[in-house]
A and B are shown apart, each in its own frame.
Chain A
Amino acid sequence: MAIAADGEGVMGAIQAGGGQRDAAAFDYRRAGPTVSRMVVGAHLRRLREVAQVTREQAAEAIRSSDSKISRLELGRTGFKPRDVTDLLALYGVSDEDECATLLAMARQANTQGWWHAYSDVIPGWLEAYLGLEAAASLIRSYEAHFVPGLLQTRDYAHALIRAGLDDLSEAQVDRRVDLRMRRQQILHQPAPPRLWAVIDEAALRRPIGGAAAMRAQLRRLIETAELPNVTIQVLPFSVGGTPVGMPITVLRFPEGELPDVVYAEQLAGALYLDKPADTDLYEHVMNRLGTAAAPQKATAAILSRILEET
């Protein structure tokens, strides 16, 4: 299974609305191709609608089909500069700054993200996630069984990846660990995203990599929770019963017009949801977990206690 898509909705339900201000404020240099494509596509669709041009007419202008216009506007394909220029002319956009901004974003949307260097160990269904995570302003994550990837130590990640289903060589395991460590840099970059993680106590009690590695991992959590952009909440055993056990990640983007994206990893694929009708339930679960889990101060005490007991 590749990206589980239901046809028109998944990763495509970009709401119209907003304005050029949003496009300019969006940091496309950091976003990587996935989100840049979505933003450029949404912007082109809005311009087309304002100009009251049909998809068929737009397709004609770039010597293509209306389904190609659909794919472009949903951000599922890269952009040729000439196509963008022709479309902007057709839509009556003559402002030089606006054209230059959109062309720069379209160029960025065609470049490869840093993770391309790891493509040998990235399953296809994960690649879009890396692009979305790199562009997010808020990452909400729930994990029942493992420490979230963005918070793992190298030893913990190594033990976890080696214990996984895939039959990997030691070199491949190392590559995946490298990729995971590289992802973590977003938490330390200037203007970093905020990470709001709810971790079940069970994930902290299972000594992945052995007791020493787990103690180092717990110390890492205690340290990382001190970062101003990181909120960690432990869901303690004293909360009887949880609404779900599967890991969930919800990504929010600085660009207001992009919908939240829910990422739910499965054994050999992942679900990406972005229509409110689909994401409401997941956000509700995250909200329930966030209200039930121990607040930050209490979490610090719980982490210290588990560290003592490990």
Chain B
Amino acid sequence: MPVTKDSPVSRTPFPEIDITVPHSARVWNYWLGGKDNYAVDRAAGDQYRELFPQIVDTARAARYFLARAVRFLVGEAGVRQFLDIGTGLPTVDNTHEIAQRVAPDSRIVYVDNDPLVLAHARALLTSTPEGTTDYIDADLRDPATILSSATRTLDFSQPIGLFLIGVFGHVPDDDEARSIMRRLLDALPSGSYLALADSINVGDAHREAARRYNEGGPVAYRLRSLEQIAGFFDGLDLVEPGLVAVSRWRPELSPFDGPHVETTLGGVGRKP
């Protein structure tokens, strides 16, 4: 049967937002003090925090790392294009806001595969008139789609800042993770940067909290070792101070400074 404009089968279905299992973007939103989360996310976030109370500081520290890394790239390194994979729900300082505060003409592509995140990003993460923001509905495991869609907005002959903040644990297979990273980095021109933060499998309480969280039914998150995360920077020149606890990466004096969190590492590497 041909699908015509008026046929019932052509009706766009409502996207499902599953609020019966925790969702990582919403749990992070809860830890960061946001309100775009549901009871199931708050329960999962509370359970995690009971076992590993530093998770709230960790979540904040990872956001501040993102902010400092963006400021470093747009300020010292002169980068004007950003590819932010695993956008998450909008929070106080989002990638394009930080970049466009310094350089209003910055172009930012946000990538996520969650309809809720995408709807919030499209509605709330809007650009300055001088710059551009775009939104790609794609999975991290599909770099081909990410890269081809990003060409709508980004000039791949000029340096690009690639951001992967707390997302690579969603690709548990090491070979696949390395392959995705290689394909993404291969597409970037010389002078581009990778900014990556991820949690490592240290600390009994931390590991136990992560294990219990994964049992709760969300898309699982795998904690890697320091060496495995360092491996993601293969072929890049790490800028000072290297791969360190996110809170120790180029710290700035800030009234929001929390304690150092050693369970989440961050680094920025330059493609030679």
Interface residues of A (CB under 8 A from B): 21, 138, 194, 196, 228, 231, 233, 238-243, 252, 256, 259-260, 276-277, 280, 283-284, 287-288, 290-292, 295-296
B15 engages A292 (CB within 8 Å) = yes
- The B68-124 residues at the A interface (CB cut-off 8 A) are 115-116, 118-120, 122-124
Question: Is B8 interfacial (CB 8 A cutoff)?
Answer: yes
In the complex where A238-B12, A240-B8, A256-B33 touch, is A291 in contact with B118 (Cβ < 8 A)? Answer: yes
Residues of B within 8 A of A291 (CB): 14-15, 17, 115-116, 118-119
Instruction: Report the separation of the CA atoms of residues A240 and B12 in the bound assembly, to the nearest whole angstrom.
Output: 7
Which A residues touch B120, using CB under 8 A? 290
List residues of chain B with CB under 8 Å of any chain A CB. 8, 10-15, 17, 19, 33, 35-36, 38-39, 42, 115-116, 118-120, 122-124, 126, 128-129, 255
For B14, the closest partner residue in chain A by CB is A292
Complex CA gap A138/B126 in Å reads 14
Residue of A nearest to B40 (CB): A280
Q: A287-B119, A291-B15, A295-B122 are in contact. List 16 more A-B contacts (CB 8 A).
A: A138-B124, A194-B124, A228-B128, A231-B123, A238-B11, A240-B12, A241-B14, A256-B33, A283-B38, A284-B17, A287-B36, A288-B17, A290-B123, A291-B116, A292-B15, A296-B122
- In contact, A231 and B14 (Cβ under 8 angstroms): no
Contacts of B122 in A (CB 8 A): 231, 295-296
Residues in B with CB closer than 8 Å to A233 are: 123
Min distance, Cβ B151 to any Cβ of chain A, angstroms: 18
Nearest chain B CB to A237 CB, angstrom units = 9
In order of increasing CB-CB distance, the 4 nearest A-B pairs are A240-B11, A290-B119, A291-B119, A231-B123
In the complex, residue of chain A having the shortest beta-carbon distance to the beta carbon of B39: A280
A sample of 11 cross-chain residue pairs with beta-carbon separation below 8 angstroms, ordered by A number, consists of A228-B126, A233-B123, A239-B12, A240-B8, A241-B11, A260-B35, A283-B36, A287-B116, A288-B15, A291-B115, A291-B119
* Shortest distance between the CB of A242 and any CB in chain B (Å): 8
A284 contact from B8, B19, B123, Cβ within 8 A: B19
Tell me the smallest distance from the CB of A227 to a CB of chain B, in Å.
10
Chain B residues with CB below 8 A from A241, complex form: 11, 14
**Which residues of B sit under 8 angstroms from A276, Cβ to Cβ?**
39, 42
Contacts of B13 in A (CB 8 A): 240
Q: How many angstroms between the C-alpha atoms of A268 and B176 in the bound complex? A: 60
**Chain A proximity of B41: nearest CB distance (Å):** 10
Q: How far is the CA of A86 from the CA of B116 in the complex (A)?
A: 48
Give A283 to B118 CA distance when docked, in angstroms: 16
Give complex CA distance A288, B119 in Å.
Answer: 9
Q: Which of B39, B120, B123, B129 has the most CB of A within 10 A?
A: B123
Q: In the complex where A260-B35, A291-B17, A291-B116 touch, is A196 in contact with B124 (Cβ < 8 A)?
A: yes
The answer to whether A252 touches B19, judged by C-beta atoms less than 8 angstroms apart, is: no
Shortest CB-to-CB span from A261 to chain B, Å, is 11
User: With a CB–CB cut-off of 8 A, which chain B residues contact A292?
Assistant: 12, 14-15
Q: How far is the CB of A256 from chain B (nearest CB, A)?
A: 5
Residues of chain A within 8 A of B39, CB atoms compared: 276-277, 280
B42 proximity list for chain A (CB < 8 A): 276
Q: Which B residues are CB-close (under 8 A) to A290?
A: 119-120, 123
Bound Cα distance A139, B36 (Å):
14
The answer for the CA separation of A242 and B126 in the assembled complex, in Å, is: 26
A283 to B17, CA, bound (A): 12
What is the CA–CA distance of A296 and B125 in the complex, to the nearest angstrom? 12
| CB of B21 to closest CB in A, whole Å | 14
Distance A259 CA – B42 CA, assembled complex (angstroms): 15
CA distance A124 to B10 in the complex (A): 46
Q: Closest residue to B9 on the A side, CB-wise?
A: A240
For A239, the chain B residues whose CB sits under 8 A away are: 11-12, 14
A284 touches B129 (CB 8 A): no
Closest to A238 in B: B12
Which residues of chain A are near B129, meaning CB under 8 Å?
A: 228
B residues near A280, Cβ cutoff 8 Å: 19, 38-39
B123 touches A196 (CB 8 A): yes
Of all chain B residues, which has the CB nearest A259?
A: B35
CA gap between A280 and B38 in the complex, in Å: 6
* Minimum C-beta distance from A248 to chain B (A): 15
Residues of A within 8 A of B35 (CB): 252, 259-260, 283
Residues of A within 8 A of B33 (CB): 256
| Distance of A44 from chain B, by nearest CB (Å) | 22
- A288 near B14 with CB under 8 A, answer yes
**Using Cβ atoms and an 8 Å threshold, which residues of chain B touch A194?**
124
Q: How far is the CB of A308 from chain B (nearest CB, A)?
A: 17
Bound together, the chains give a CA A260 to CA B124 distance in angstroms of: 17
Distance between Cα atoms of A231 and B122 in the complex (Å): 9
- In the bound complex, CA of A21 to CA of B92 (Å): 15
Q: How far is the CA of A286 from the CA of B211 in the complex (A)?
A: 32
| Residue numbers in B under 8 Å from A283 (CB-CB) | 35-36, 38
Report Cα–Cα, A243/B13, bound state, in Å. Answer: 12
Within the complex, the shortest CB–CB distance from B59 to chain A, in Å, comes to 14
Q: Name the A residues within 8 Å of B19 (CB-CB).
A: 280, 284
B64 to A: closest C-beta gap in Å: 16
Q: Provide the bound-state CA to CA distance between A260 and B38, in Å.
A: 13
Pairwise interchain contact B10-A238, C-beta atoms closer than 8 A? yes
How far apart sit A240 and B7, CA to CA, in the bound complex (Å)? 11
